[in-house]
Amino acid sequence: MASEVAPVAEKIAASSDAGLKHLKVLCVDNEPDILVGMETLLERWGCDVRTALDLVGSLKHLDQGWEPDVILSDYRLDNGRTGLEVLQQFRLRVGDSFKGVIISADRTESMLEGIKSNGFALLLNLLSHLSCVRYSINPSDQ
């Protein structure tokens, strides 16, 4: 039975990875460790990944002639800035040529409305939820 499952799992993984090969992905987050994790994972999937800590850093990639297919941005950035602002600024410069995704554990009504009204997607940040689960089930963390 296990010998039948392994080839199927490998085919699924291969077909999923093939669709991401050479996809240009910009990751924006004010936490460098998060950016390293995202970059590592996406590069394993074959993506061409660039990272930025903020709006200014993200726009530098455009200035260098690199235009993303996808932008994954944390909602809350430093200095009161948001990932929504990053996506809006990219839209002003390159139009609708990219898929914009906000990553957040927050779900305030105004944030959700801003994302929806601009036509961007929301991905709930599971890392914060996983940290809570780990804390609640691992006594050594308490």
Return the pLDDT at 136.
Answer: 52
Torsion of CA 26, 107, 78, 117, to 10 degrees: 60
Q: Tokens 């914060």 appear where?
A: 128
CATH code linked to domain 24-137:
3.40.50.2300
Size (the chain), residues: 142
Locate the domains of the chain by residue range. 24-137
Question: For every one of its 142 residues, what pLDDT tens digit does the chain have, with 9 covering 90 and above?
Answer: 444 444 444 444 444 556 788 899 999 999 998 899 899 989 988 999 999 999 999 999 999 999 999 999 999 999 999 999 999 999 999 999 999 999 988 888 999 999 999 999 998 876 554 454 455 555 554 4
